[in-house]
């Protein structure tokens, strides 16, 4: 299987579906991790230009842990706009290159705008990528299927009722390590939001595990829009 | 896999999930079909006692087509009551005997009371069946798992948004044949409800197919209650 | 048109849809008003047996104002049980006699149990009334259609979002007069619930009017269950 | 009655509400059909500029079948943006000219972005069209009412629960003919989405018919926003 | 404040709102803990009569930890029926004696029937308790207010989106101790459901804390029914 | 407490939460009232430039009645765009200056676009205002908390089910006076929408009062997004 995961900030995929991606990779599937925003404003002291370089490396390191390709679309924080052709165009290129069997991204409602915009842009791009005459750029042909989309959990699971669960019990430590790569954020999240990042991630995974009877799990919801509905389980 | 399907009237399973049951059976799974009500009032002329005998045979014939065991709980029409211990007790016995990996039944909201009562009784019985000291009757031990439940479509799909689909394209003709066994109902449904039974069944299956990109499909919704949530697909 | 309205207590129809019933009657439709509970416990001092006689007269007087037939099913307050055959049987008899084009009743969720039980019993009875072999009693034949059901507003509109509105601007004073017939309740509602009954009724009607651009209105929601859905407006 | 229908692509109205428009026209109402996008990217081989000319003719032909005026807003595919004044301005002009009693358009959630943007743009324009000082262009005065909006079905009915139905049994063949005018799309939809266009349209109409007890029907949902709510049925 | 908490089994309040009850008690409020079912079937080996005596003691011990009165309604497991006057009558007596400012109980949807029945019975009884002529038994007068109801979390939080949170950070160890009193269940829940009881309780409280920015919290949802809505916060 | 209220047009806060703001002010809290749109198109005869000056004075007068600071962001009517950095930037500045404990604004769904855009812009700005490197302009530091948001009622309460109520019985006349300051709108709303403005406002407040048992009230819904959830009541 060929799985494309698109998160907003460089650490969002690790938080929301790191275990699932680790599991996919371990089972031999191809995993591509995209972060749309470069995370340049996720710190109090470090200035944006410096920070975005640091975070790109952190994201690469996290991806490397599971052998995933990591792509940055390099949009500045708080400037993610699904209504602009530029972002959708970038995502279309990624989709046409990766040619995913399915996509994982943020749900349409989450705790801050950039996350929600990524969700919308991915939804739009996954359709546009299949239209031959939309940005018929050099080399990459239109994707042959409108890829099904799975929405990962919101931050702290607020307002989110999963309909599918992935057992990540064998991958929880890998997930924690992936999150641990984001050292700049461990400090920021503590200062900005008062949370202990790694403990936060572990607790949510444990809670989702309680819900489905596993030590650790991640929850998802399928995007219910035609022609993305399926008759087989795609998640691992 | 060991699948228990519990419908209300003798033809409800054929309408709602006949294709899925045919597919399960064809793939070597064990299928048990239970109808709770005996269908004795589903006719204008034929009197109840006569009709319930006819319909039991019709149900048997339909089950035979796919090699499923057919069980009648013999509750008179319009007398299905989930709140009575008798019905739940009967279902507990069936569950303890069949020991299903999962159960298919009506959703909690449907077009008439008996259907809704079956849904509730199945929900209750599937838990009670696992409690050793609940009706510890001769022979059958408590079931070892609270079986996940899948709700099949409502009649005509009113108010129902499936979250899982089963591709029944290879089994649509078997499904039609199973429904065709219910000759007494073809007349009744035409007279009572003005519908062409077999065409009705085919159209709904075709519509659910359009939704998920298959020639014919059936839609389901998982019962979202602890500890019934799973991390793998159970439907075929 | 032949309209059957079934409320719980002797004054509930007046509160929830008195204007609509007045309008129907004024336009020449046949209106039958049923109250299921006799309202015997709706007072602090007056004892049940005395009160239920008073309230029956109050209900009759209110119905007389618009020329509606008034039927009491005489169930004691706090003893309305939709799961008992007796209540459903009584409602089936009423439906078979009245043979309504549609039914108005309480929504499935409301502020106290008796209301909710009436809603369920009406839903069940409206189907059972069409089954020839269900209680084939002397005289009345099975009704020929499963009547569409409209749910009227909850008390104070809590949790209720109407999908259809009836303009009752020309009937608001009649509605108030109908409610004014329930003198025993004006005292009780003030003492038990701290509300000024007539002002309460007028305010809710005015608020529903604001929502649909009329001086006064009543809000309804159709029961969305097969085969009750329609392709024409039934409400006046 | 004066009805304005606004679809996204040149064939969307035919798919979603062709039968209702045919019925309206047959009953003497004035019908105006607007497609926002020119459909220029709806093909594999035919290039955009050529295709949009073809599709405009196809749309005209479909409208001609029922005597409806057809207007193209000529926005390129995948470039429909409700947040841009240009699109809303164009729609305001159409509304001020047509002066509709009500509007039919896509629901806010559908299977691809352009559809959803049309829905939002129509919602916005229908209000703006009534404000005298909004784009007070030559000739057309502000519309005198914020027109009620009916949302037509999503593609394949995914995620859509109608609250109103229109019986189109007498107009199903006209609906099919209207869809048959879109020859360029019959090929495209087969290649891009794997669907048999005319059969698809007929099946959905038949399914919606089953839900409301008619041979063929179309489902709608009213836009529930002030001051668009009504006290009479507007759909035919 | 005078708070009545009604759980189903002898340990359900400890699981769902033990921290909130501990906080209430610590702040000087009067707390009454009722368990409806006696929990007699919550074990594999211990027989019902023996078990119910053990569990009553366990519940008492848990209540003693915070100085709460503990009342058992002694209904056998899997026999809780909200539709029976007996259960509602018992609850009415409790309410009239305790005269609560508000009530905490299970939500209407939960993982097994007994929980759901308790929720309904409490809803019904809290109204009936205020009606003078309903079971006008010796001594206790009708309660003077229809008490607001707060629904506590479902088991494992499945399907539950809290709208109010209580910070229990200072009471988490007391909550764990209260749960630790239920030694018979620690074994049963491990054997029947495969869960580590105390860790389960702590994890859910921690997760709810993450959602509202506290180390530990419990989530609630107010019962939205007239006349139970309030204009002040009642939860501690 | 430091409360920031952000409405769309110069009179929207007075309509939706004027009583709550009056109560807050009377209890000594600091209230800041922002209107995003200048209301320049809210009249038939008066031209935009003239009207916006009039309405700014009207808003000031209303704010003065309760001692609130009034800020106009001066966006022309029908040009409010949450996706533009300019509007979000302006709101960020206001938030950083006011440093609110919580914010009141429109709900995400309302009767016209500008209202909905304000809701989204406030949601976005309240997060962005806390990010140090987002528009680090002279003087004002990033706000130290992502402020909780309360959504006020929609116009005429359409589609809105409050979860929190504020008793404004002692402030209803102040609320009416605040609305009475908007003389230009009393005429416009009568002409454009056919409503008697002051009566409208009073009726909705009375209706919301009926729902929660007070003479007059206002309804709200908390924005359920992390990290805005709280464990104490913030509304007065």
Q: Quick check: is A183 in a domain?
A: yes
Closest to E9 (Cα-Cα) out of E174, E188, E195, E165: E188
Reduce the secondary structure of chain C to three states and give it as a string: CEEEEEECCCCHHHHHHHHHHHHHHHCCCEEEEEEEECCCCCCCCCCHHHHHHHHHHHHHHHHHHHCCEEEEEEECCCCCCCCCHHHHHHHHHHHHHHCCCEEEECCCCCCCHHHHHHHHHHHHHHHHCCCCCCCCCCCCCCCCCCCCEEEECCHHHCCCCCCEEEECHHHHHHHHHHHHCCHHHHHHHHHHHCCCHHHHHHHHHHHHHHHHCCCCEEEEEECCCCCCCCCCCCCC
- Chain E CB contacts of F211 under 8 Å are 226, 229
Residue E67 C-alpha, separation from nearest chain B C-alpha, in angstroms: 32
- Closest CB to E132: pick one of C44, C112, C193: C44
Q: Quick check: is F231 in a domain?
A: no
> Do the chains B and A touch each other, judged by at least 3 C-beta pairs below 8 angstroms?
yes
**Is residue E136's pLDDT more than 80?**
no
| Percent of chain C with pLDDT strictly greater than 90 | 92
What pLDDT, in 10s, does the model give residues C170-184? Answer: 999 999 999 999 999
What pLDDT, in 10s, does the model give residues C125-158? Answer: 999 999 999 987 666 899 999 999 999 999 999 9
**Is residue D44's pLDDT more than 90?**
no
Average pLDDT of chain A? 96
The pair of three-digit structure tokens given for residue E175, joined into one six-digit string: 């909550």
**Is residue D139's pLDDT more than 70?**
no
Pairing of β A30-37 and β E30-37:
unpaired
* Amino acid F45: pLDDT: 87
Q: Measured between alpha carbons, how far is B111 from F236 in angstroms, rounded to an integer? A: 45
F185's enclosing H/E stretch is helix F183-193
Contacts of F62 (CB under 8 A, 6+ apart): F11, F14, F18, F33, F70, F178, F179, F181, F182
What pLDDT, in 10s, does the model give residues F23-38? Answer: 999 999 999 999 999 9
Is the confidence metric ipTM above 0.90 for this complex?
Answer: yes
Block residue for tokens 């109204």: E127
The number of angstroms, rounded, from the C-alpha of E6 to the middle of its chain's C-alpha atoms is 4
Q: Do A230 and B161 touch (CB under 8 A)?
A: no
**Is residue B11's pLDDT more than 80?**
yes
Block residue for tokens 């993450």: E210
Average pLDDT of chain F? 96
- The answer to whether D102 touches D150, Cβ cutoff 8 Å, is yes
What pLDDT, in 10s, does the model give residues D149-188? Answer: 999 999 999 999 999 999 999 999 999 999 999 999 998 8
- Give B53's DSSP letter: H
Exposure class string for A151-179: b at 16+ Cβ within 10 A, else e: bbbbbbbbbbebbbbbbbeebbebbbbbb
Closest to E216 (Cα-Cα) out of E204, E230, E233: E204
| Residue C125 touches partner B, C-beta closer than 8 Å | no
* Amino acid A192: pLDDT: 80
Reduce the secondary structure of F109-135 to three states and give it as a string: CCCCHHHHHHHHHHHHHHHHCCCCCCC
Could you tell me which chains touch chain E, where touching means 3 or more CB pairs under 8 A?
A, B, C, F
Alpha helices in chain E (DSSP H): 12-26, 48-66, 85-98, 113-128, 172-180, 183-193, 197-212
**Is residue E108's pLDDT more than 70?**
yes
What pLDDT, in 10s, does the model give residues D48-66? Answer: 999 999 999 999 999 999 9
Closest to E148 (Cα-Cα) out of A87, F212, D215: F212
- The answer to whether D188 touches D195, Cβ cutoff 8 Å, is no
User: If contacts are CB pairs under 8 Å, which of residues 156-175 in chain F contact chain D?
Assistant: 156, 158-159
Does the pTM surpass 0.90? The reply is yes
* Amino acid C195: pLDDT: 85
Q: Quick check: is C160 in a domain?
A: yes
What pLDDT, in 10s, does the model give residues E178-229? Answer: 999 999 999 888 888 888 999 999 999 999 999 999 999 999 999 999 999 9
**Which CATH number fits the domain that encloses residue B60?**
3.40.50.10320
Residue D139: count of CB within 10 angstroms of its CB: 7
C83-91: long-range pairs with CB below 8 Å, 24+: C83/B81, C83/B83, C83/E83, C85/B79, C87/C36, C87/C117, C87/C121, C88/C121, C88/C124, C88/C125, C88/C128, C89/C135, C91/C6, C91/C34, C91/C36, C91/C121, C91/C122, C91/C125, C91/C126, C91/C129
Q: Quick check: is C56 in a domain?
A: yes
Counting one residue from chain A and one from chain D, the pairs whose CB atoms sit within 8 A come to 47
- The answer to whether F189 touches F144, Cβ cutoff 8 Å, is no
Least confident of C140-144, D219-223, F150-154: C140-144
Torsion of CA F21, F24, F30, F33, to 10 degrees: 0
- The answer to whether D108 touches D151, Cβ cutoff 8 Å, is yes
Q: Quick check: is F236 in a domain?
A: no
φ and ψ at residue A95, rounded to 5 degrees: -65, -40
φ and ψ at residue C159, rounded to 5 degrees: 70, 15
The number of angstroms, rounded, from the C-alpha of D202 to the middle of its chain's C-alpha atoms is 17
Nearest CA in chain B to A164: B231
* Amino acid F138: pLDDT: 62
- Chain E CB contacts of B130 under 8 Å are 192
| Residue F5 touches partner A, C-beta closer than 8 Å | no
User: If contacts are CB pairs under 8 Å, which of residues 57-116 in chain D contact chain A?
Assistant: 77-79, 81, 83, 109-113
Q: Measured between alpha carbons, how far is B15 from B216 in angstroms, rounded to an integer? A: 13
A43-46: long-range pairs with CB below 8 Å, 24+: A43/A184, A43/A187, A43/A188, A43/F132, A43/F133, A44/A188, A44/A191, A44/A192, A44/F132, A46/A184
Q: Quick check: is E228 in a domain?
A: no
pLDDT band with cut points at 50, 70 and 90 for residue F195 = confident
Average pLDDT of chain C? 96
- Chain F CB contacts of D131 under 8 Å are 41, 77-78, 192
| Residue F195 touches partner C, C-beta closer than 8 Å | yes
* Amino acid A138: pLDDT: 62
Q: Do C231 and D161 touch (CB under 8 A)?
A: no
Residue E177: count of CB within 10 angstroms of its CB: 18
**Is residue A63's pLDDT more than 80?**
yes
* Amino acid F88: pLDDT: 97
Alpha helices in chain B (DSSP H): 12-26, 48-66, 85-98, 113-128, 172-180, 183-193, 197-212
Contacts of D223 (CB under 8 A, 6+ apart): D123, D148, D149, D150, D151
Exposure class string for B47-61: b at 16+ Cβ within 10 A, else e: ebeebbebbbebbbb
| Percent of chain D with pLDDT strictly greater than 70 | 99
**F190 to each of A101, E191, F176, F196, how far by Cα in Å?**
56, 69, 16, 6
pLDDT band with cut points at 50, 70 and 90 for residue E138 = low
Residue B111: count of CB within 10 angstroms of its CB: 22
Count of structural domains within chain D: 1
| Percent of chain F with pLDDT strictly greater than 90 | 92
Residue D133 C-alpha, separation from nearest chain C C-alpha, in angstroms: 23
What pLDDT, in 10s, does the model give residues C18-44? Answer: 999 999 999 999 999 999 999 999 888
Angle separating helix axes A172-180 and A48-66, nearest 10 degrees: 160
φ and ψ at residue A106, rounded to 5 degrees: -70, 155
Read off the pLDDT of each residue in F9-33 and give the average, rounded to a whole number. 98
**Is residue A220's pLDDT more than 90?**
yes
Substitution target in C231, C234, C235 with the highest count of D β-carbons within 10 Å is C231
Substitution target in F112, F157, F204 with the highest count of D β-carbons within 10 Å is F112
> Do the chains D and E touch each other, judged by at least 3 C-beta pairs below 8 angstroms?
no
Q: Do E233 and F231 touch (CB under 8 A)?
A: no
The range of the structural domain enclosing residue E77 comes to 2-222
Pairing of β D2-7 and β D30-37:
parallel
- The answer to whether C167 touches C208, Cβ cutoff 8 Å, is no
Read off the pLDDT of each residue in F150-164 and give the average, rounded to a whole number. 97
Q: Measured between alpha carbons, how far is F94 from F211 in angstroms, rounded to an integer? A: 34
Nearest CA in chain A to E197: A210
F36's enclosing H/E stretch is strand F30-37
Q: Do A226 and D154 touch (CB under 8 A)?
A: yes
Q: How many helices (H) and strands (E) does chain B have?
A: 7, 7
- The answer to whether F16 touches F106, Cβ cutoff 8 Å, is yes
Nearest CA in chain B to E116: B124
**Is residue A139's pLDDT more than 70?**
no
């Amino acid at each position: 299987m060929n799985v494309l995961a698109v998160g907003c900030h460089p650490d969002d995929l690790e938080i929301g579906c790191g275990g699932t991606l680790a599991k996919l990779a371990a089972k031999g599937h191809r995993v591509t991790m995209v972060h749309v925003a470069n995370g340049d404003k996720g710190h109090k002291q470090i200035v944006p230009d410096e920070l975005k370089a640091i975070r790109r490396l952190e994201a690469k390191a996290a991806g490397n842990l599971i052998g995933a390709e990591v792509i940055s679309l390099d949009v500045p924080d708080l400037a993610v706009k699904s209504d602009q052709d530029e972002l959708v165009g970038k995502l279309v290129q990624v989709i046409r290159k990766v040619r995913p069997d399915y996509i994982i991204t943020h749900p349409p409602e989450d705790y801050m705008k950039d996350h929600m915009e990524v969700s919308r842009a991915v939804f739009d791009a996954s359709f546009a990528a299949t239209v031959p005459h939309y940005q018929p750029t050099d080399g990459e042909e239109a994707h042959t299927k409108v890829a099904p989309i799975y929405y990962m959990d919101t931050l702290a699971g607020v307002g989110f009722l999963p309909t599918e669960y992935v057992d990540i019990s064998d991958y929880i430590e890998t997930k924690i390590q992936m999150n641990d790569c984001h050292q700049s954020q461990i400090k920021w999240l503590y200062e900005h939001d008062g949370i202990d990042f790694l403990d936060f991630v572990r607790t949510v995974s444990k809670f989702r595990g309680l819900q489905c009877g596993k030590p650790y799990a991640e929850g998802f919801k399928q995007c219910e829009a035609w022609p993305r509905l399926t008759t087989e389980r795609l998640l691992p």
